[in-house]
Amino acid sequence: MSLFIRKTPYTGPVKAVVLDWAGTAVDFGCMGPAAVFVAVFRERGIKVSAAEARQFMGLAKKEHIRKMCGLPAVQTAWQKKFGSLPEAADVDNLYDRTADLMVKAICRHADVIPGVIDTMARLRGMGIKIGSSTGYVKEMMDVLVPLAKESGYEPDAVVCSSDVPAGRPYPWMCYLNAIKLDVYPMEAMVKIGDTVADIEEGLNAGMWTVGIVETGNEMGLGSADLEALPKVERARRTRQIEDRFKAAGAHYILNRTADVLPVIEDINHRLSGGELPLAGGC
């Protein structure tokens, strides 16, 4: 690749995208992880809602468990049942069970979201490399990656939370993608994901960020349920998600990953003028 020295603004094109997995590339609605978190707490006699489980999606799975244990409702129920608040050992035990159930759930929710495979092929045709980051750990990705490959989805780089010192919103997974893909500067890369944590990860890494609405965790519906949703309710939920993504600083907000090609062209135009992805542009 041509050598870029930061003496002047970068004015070249987008060189790589980094996609989240569940809700962005596979598992329409991010159904697998949400169900697992609910089930793990239910096994301990603690009732949590899918909405409570989804609010921390995108984080490394152990951190997700830790955040859920900090919810007031969970702490109250835990105190009533066990006589104390959740401790570090409880988080460890919950996480171990989560890891077991998550592997099984991944097998049931590995379908590639429609349009993703064709879109990635078109991006590659533009000379753009495909990276990925996830809150899943290696043992989970060892199951998911081969299943996705069988369906035709195979990123050029796969980085998970257990590969780096800390998961989202830290930028380390994006940096490791840049290393594996041999791509820099970071403004030549685009982070695509369906959670606030994805957007924060990309911003912290100095990348352009794209929030995905319809297929992701924030909407939290499978394809059939999304299509059955009344138009008024669908529009209301969409506006709420867009507001959250805007507040997080997303540069772009799309319904689906398959809609990203015009965004890449717009980013190329902005880069050609030396613009940096320092603030949201929605």
233-to-55, 237, 243 alpha-carbon distances in Å: 20, 6, 15
20 in catalytic set: yes
Task: Name the percent of the chain in helix, strand, coil, to the closest 5.
Answer: 50, 10, 40
d(CA 19, CA 191) in angstroms, rounded, equals: 6
Q: How many CB atoms lie within 10 A of CB 108?
A: 11
Do 178 and 184 contact (CB within 8 A), yes or no?
yes
108 three-class SS? helix
**Catalytic residue, candidates 15, 61, 62, 129:** 61
Do 144 and 107 contact (CB within 8 A), yes or no?
no
**Catalytic residue, candidates 20, 27, 163, 198:** 20
User: What's the burial of 17, exposed, middle or buried (CB within 10 Å: 0-12/13-18/19+)?
Assistant: buried
Do 158 and 141 contact (CB within 8 A), yes or no?
yes
d(CA 222, CA 68) in angstroms, rounded, equals: 23
Indicate the DSSP class of residue 113. Answer: P
Tokens 């990276």: give the residue: 131
149 in catalytic set: no
d(CA 148, CA 32) in angstroms, rounded, equals: 15
Q: Which residues are catalytic?
A: 20, 61
